[in-house]
Amino acid sequence: MKKIITILGARPQFVKGAVLSRIIKEHNEIEEIIIHTGQHYDTNMSAVFFEEMEIPKPKYNLDINGLSHGAMTGQMLEKIEAVLKDEKPDAVVIYGDTNSTIAGALAAKKMHIKVIHIEAGLRSFNMKMPEEINRILTDRISDLLLCPTDTAIKNLQQEGYSNLPINIVKAGDIMKDAVLYYSKTSSAKAKIYFKLNLKKEDFILATIHRQENTDDLDKLKSIFEALEEIHKETPVVLPLHPRTKAILEKNNLKYNITTIQPVGYFDMLELLKNCKMVISDSGGLQKEAFFNRKNVIIARDETEWVELVDNGFAIITGANKEKIKQAYRYFKDKKNDFSVNLYGDNVGETMYQEIKKIL
């Protein structure tokens, strides 16, 4: 039996990994071993996802977190390499654009193990983003690039990938499979939405965590001031990322919005299902909002998911307070048609079949 190692480290990767792990288990043709790097180590950011989503328990937990980019990536590279030496897999599967992603890709490639990159080809064209560096380098050293959109394919073609011995496939977005599958049971397992006594489509779900916003106090203040003003008219609920919480507390910044602890996937799904719209600097949440038929205000200067903007489901505002408020007013009474298929169908199964071909 062929063997793959899947490397997970951050919340979106747990969600995507759950879909593929379930399909691998159903086919029973490939052995999957999971490494959890520990990049997201908070219980609500990590452990709860494995429990709720029935992801196979990681065989290896590297417990690497809370370090600088260089130290974190270096330690991951060293420890992943040691696991690969012991396990001798046929391929390594990595997701997205985190330090766990690039560390896994580097470790595997230098040992001549095939690298499969899920969510390949995405670009923000902002080289100040650590994620942009990770995704570009990972794509270049991968053997199979499973792309979510036509835009991702086009990005790779423009970078000359057509001339490289790399398999490029438009597979769709595996996050869609996760939303469709887990939405069936989320209301029975979620708690926060009901505890907060919220009214359906009468609150805004917000998340702010990217370093470009949290590490720039002017940007952080601008975003939270906008949220506070919007909250006076429509309640704003914000699961508070540990990094954002620490910076707010360090600078004694307090805002009159509803903040809650980070939530598990089912709680997030219920909040998404029932909110009016989303304000976020998250990449994954932009699509999850779309899959739940919600418009999204993107508190960044760019997005990898340009099709959401092009089709009127999202507005980019950056950290600009007035632009955020303006976008809120625009979407407040906006009814969009979410029936357009931007991200494929049966994505996990498509990916599984492509992975099988290169093993």
Q: What is the dihedral of CA 299, 303, 307, 310, to 10 degrees?
A: 60
- Centroid of chain to Cα 318: 19
Helix (H) or strand (E) holding 239: strand 236-239
- Helix, strand, coil in percent for the chain, rounding step 5: 50, 15, 35
Nearest-angstrom CA–CA distance, 342 and 307: 8
Q: Do 2-173+344-358 and 184-332 have matching folds?
A: yes
Task: Give kind and range of the element (H or E) at residue 336.
Answer: none
The token pair at 280 is 């976020």
Which top CATH class is 184-332?
A: alpha beta
Rounded Cα distance, 292 and 256, in Å: 27
Half-sphere exposure of 48 (CA within 13 A, CB side): 17
Catalytic residues, by residue number, are 209
**Closest to 359 in 3D by CA, of 22, 31, 121:** 31
CATH class held by domain 2-173+344-358? alpha beta
Boundaries of every domain in the chain: 2-173+344-358, 184-332
pTM, rounded to two decimals: 0.91
Work out whether the CA dihedral 168, 77, 126, 264 comes out positive or negative: positive
Q: Copy the structure tokens of residue 82.
A: 């040691």
Q: Are 117 and 94 in contact (CB under 8 A)?
A: yes
| Length of the chain as a residue count | 359
Where would I find the H helices in 190-254? 192-195, 211-214, 217-231, 242-250
Question: What is the rounded distance in angstroms from the CA atom of residue 117 to the CA atom of residue 60?
Answer: 20
Exposure string for 157-193, b = 16+ CB within 10 A, e = fewer:
eeeebeeeebebbebbbbbbbbbeebbeebeeebebb
- From first to last of its 359 residues, the chain has per-residue pLDDT tens of 999 999 999 888 988 999 999 999 999 999 999 999 988 655 555 566 677 777 788 999 999 988 899 999 999 999 999 999 999 999 999 999 999 999 999 999 999 999 999 999 999 999 998 999 999 999 999 999 999 999 999 999 999 999 999 999 999 999 999 999 999 989 888 889 989 999 999 999 999 999 899 999 999 999 999 999 999 999 999 999 988 999 999 999 999 999 999 988 899 999 999 999 999 999 889 999 999 999 999 999 999 999 999 999 999 999 999 999 999 999 998 999 999 999 999 999 999 999 999 99
Query: Rounded to an integer, what distance in angstroms lies between the CA atom of residue 341 and that of residue 49?
Result: 27
